[in-house]
Structure 1
Amino acid sequence: MNLCHIASLYRVEEKMAKSSSMTLLSLILLLHLFFAKSEKLLAPALYVFGDSLVDSGNNNFLNTVVKANYNPYGIDFPSGATGRFTNGKTAADFTGQSLGLPFIPPYLALSEDERMKTITGLNYASGSAGILTETGTASGINLGMEKQVELFEETVGTYLSGNFKSPKKLRRYLSKSIFMVSIGSNDYINNYLRPGNYNTSLIYTPEQFAVYLLDQLKSRLTKLYNLGARKFVVFAIGPLGCIPAIVNSLKPTTRCAENVNKLVLLYNYGLHGLLEQLTFTLHGSIFVFGDVYRLSYDMNQNPFRYGLNETKAPCCIVGNTGLCIKDQAPCQDRTTHLYWDFAHPMQKINNIVAKRCFRSSSPCSPINIRKLALLPTVT
């Protein structure tokens, strides 16, 4: 809002004050509310790429056993089960809300006409998907990271272009949008750690596999940049050695299977360096590193700091796949558990991660998402 707009608003309020004895305090409150409303929309769109941690329903439309479109999933979501792999909202949902955006729809759920009209962002994430195309396919079809980027390319070329008067305005819109990436977990739990289905652990040492994953991720992120993305939030992999699926399988003597966590840390350390490199080499870009590992590990080790008292048992009753059994009642108090099923966190945890990443100095660095959204852009 410029000074002319403020002056105009003040003149209107001055007239109202004379006729209705409106106090100066009322005027100040009205101005405060006006500014709050005008600043609420911090980014024009949020584009989400990833796996089941942020999938909002794409897997509902794929031939796979990895689905969450039934009760008790979504028991705390406004419209019930949607395909989100938790009891309520994902971290992407909370981030979108903080940016002032509506819920970001899953790409596969929209018709051609709906895609043409959607300019607040799309969600391409897919349960069981990974950075590598073959990851998770033992359970059925998914949208791997490469495919997700291809769908975004289609979005830019086919659907978004008609909403902008010139390529320059489209580029500016994309440069202001936020691109969230949360992927990599399945490349370990549904690839490297499953030698019966995949041979990656036979071909690569842990160090080599981390380097291979990062090289593939770099290629995908660079393609997004070349399509117009400038503001990225890329999350590290959480402590997979602490999830119920791993703990119940390996039965470590400690709270978490630290040998699995060491595999993840090799990737996370490399990811941090990669994002710094990309920010330096890709002109006008900024890559924010979401260190969810550190935060999630602390939740496992010190649950009472976060109002939790259960870090091993999932809230819902799980079946052989590690997902919730259909129509079985979950735990009643859904604020004290860390995990919803054998692999996914509760809505409460997603909220903590998203809100801290949005406003605090950690777990997201070098800046939080709010500051990222407010940064001037270079197309």
Structure 2
Amino acid sequence: MISNSYSIIFSVFFLRFISSSATQLAPALYVFGDSLFDSGNNNLLPTIARANYLPYGANFVNKSSTGRFTNGKTVPDFVAEFLGLPYSPPFLKIRDKLPLTGLNYASGSCGILPETGRPFGKCLNFEEQVSLFDETVKLLRRHFTSSKVLSNYLSKSIFIISIGSNDYLSRSLGTLSFNTNVRYTPQQFAQLLIEKLSHQFQRLYNLGARKIVMFEIGPIGCIPSITRKNKHTGRCVEDKNQLVSYFNNMLPTMLQNLTSCLEGSTFVNSHAHWLGYDAVINPPKYGLMDSSNPCCIAWFNGTSGCIPFLKPCSNANQHYFWDAYHLTEAMYSLFASHCINDKSFCEPFNLKELVKM
């Protein structure tokens, strides 16, 4: 449920209309997910899962640590540039205006399950993010000239989501409030996540979303936080990848079913896992020199977030990992470029095709 404070924010919003330019390929970009897509929402929540200090943002505009869990831009930033839109601002930072060009609801440490991320403090789980988008649509209704104009705006907007990694990390670390390893087999746990995800996608559709891109869960068994703790430095822990594969294998069917059942919708599956895994085991193929170690100096022998204000590596664009959990801007650029141009990566339509539909 949305807290009253979030609703109050809307009561003082001033909706700023921004006219579409000829270079805009879509009217807006709406972003949902976890720390892979968070652009600063967690800065305004009582949580230790934050990235609002250097060296985070060391390669971002003006070297500013905005709350992005990387050294520079994320996938949504590159997508926004492709669409001819400004970066979607974090929802919780907006106080005096609501841009028509989109918002970012993603929240670090959260997941599909409401329990995920709780040990770190408050975050916005996926259900809460969709509820905040519901509030956004209610505000938009007051300012569009008709429901038809609003529907057209939402139907042409792009919605991108990356969620689920933290649910698996929480399961492996035993930080969920219920023992999932006892209550659910790997297949049952994946089915639980898929069902909850599908329900939220249907909510987004009912609110007006039509063009939705969902990124697979990446090879989390390859992140330094796991490989180093398991004394497999530089190598992926395969059983973690196999657990994630149950979810990734169920995802395409669920998205295809939604596209078939929900009139006028297009659900796109982004194959982030295979590209991410290939880049880990074949880094030179992607212009990388290091696919094992964090670029920043991270807490606990390189198994956590960046230690504040310490100088990172000098060649971040040749590193796969920024800290022990998150990727560098170079990797996010790779994922975004493939989704924009490659219909075998984002299928059945890449973003170039999706915006024309």
TM (normalized to structure 1)? Answer: 0.86
Structure 1 residue 39 displacement after superposition: 5.2
Task: Look up the SS of the partner of 2:243 in the other structure.
Answer: helix
Cα distance in 2 for partners of 1:366, 1:196 equals 36
Q: 1:137 aligns with which of 96, 109, 118?
A: 118
Task: Look up the SS of the partner of 1:48 in the other structure.
Answer: strand
Q: 2:249 aligns with which of 262, 269, 281?
A: 269
Cα distance in 1 for partners of 2:86, 2:329 equals 18
Q: 2:31 aligns with which of 27, 48, 53?
A: 48
Q: Is it true that 1:119 corresponds to 2:100 in the alignment?
A: yes
Cα distance in 1 for partners of 2:197, 2:268 equals 15
Task: Look up the SS of the partner of 1:121 in the other structure.
Answer: coil
Q: Looking at CA atoms only, which structure, 1 or 2, has the larger radius of gyration?
A: 1
Cα distance in 1 for partners of 2:256, 2:81 equals 27
Please list every run of at least 4 consecutive aligned residues from structure 1 whose deviation after the TM superposition is greater than 4 angstroms.
none
Cα distance in 2 for partners of 1:359, 1:176 equals 19
The residue type paired with residue 64 of structure 1 is T
Q: Specify whether residues 310 and 254 from structure 1 end up closer, same or farther in structure 2 by C-alpha distance, changes over 3 A only.
A: closer
Which residue of 2 is the match for residue 281 of structure 1?
Answer: 261
- Per-residue deviation, residues 86-141 of structure 1 (Å, max 9, x unmatched): 00000000001100000110000010x312xx110000000001011110111110
TM (normalized to structure 2)? Answer: 0.91
- Per-residue deviation, residues 54-99 of structure 1 (Å, max 9, x unmatched): 0000000000000000000000100310000000000000001100
Q: Is it true that 1:192 corresponds to 2:174 in the alignment?
A: no
Which residue of 1 is the match for residue 130 of structure 2?
Answer: 149
Cα distance in 2 for partners of 1:283, 1:102 equals 30
Q: Kindly indicate whether the alpha-carbon contact (under 8 Å) linking 2:227 and 2:233 is maintained by their aligned counterparts in 1.
A: no
Cα distance in 2 for partners of 1:271, 1:292 equals 12
Cα distance in 2 for partners of 1:316, 1:265 equals 29
- Per-residue deviation, residues 312-351 of structure 1 (Å, max 9, x unmatched): 1100011147110000000001111100000111001101
Q: 1:226 aligns with which of 188, 206, 215?
A: 206
Which residue of 1 is the match for residue 81 of structure 2?
Answer: 97
Number of aligned residues? 334
Task: Look up the SS of the partner of 1:311 in the other structure.
Answer: strand
Which residue of 1 is the match for residue 159 of structure 2?
Answer: 179
Structure 2, unmatched stretches of 5+, are 1-19
Structure 1 residue 173 displacement after superposition: 0.4
The residue type paired with residue 106 of structure 1 is P
Which residue of 1 is the match for residue 223 of structure 2?
Answer: 243
Structure 1 residue 38 displacement after superposition: 6.6
Q: Is it true that 1:366 corresponds to 2:352 in the alignment?
A: no
Aligned-residue RMSD, C-alpha: 1.4
Q: Is it true that 1:333 corresponds to 2:333 in the alignment?
A: no
The residue type paired with residue 336 of structure 2 is A
Which residue of 2 is the match for residue 58 of structure 1?
Answer: 41
Structure 1 residue 163 displacement after superposition: 3.2
The residue type paired with residue 105 of structure 1 is P
The residue type paired with residue 324 of structure 1 is C
Task: Look up the SS of the partner of 2:202 in the other structure.
Answer: helix
Which residue of 2 is the match for residue 352 of structure 1?
Answer: 334
Which residue of 2 is the match for residue 255 of structure 1?
Answer: 235
Task: Look up the SS of the partner of 2:30 in the other structure.
Answer: strand
Task: Look up the SS of the partner of 2:159 in the other structure.
Answer: strand
Cα distance in 1 for partners of 2:232, 2:261 equals 42
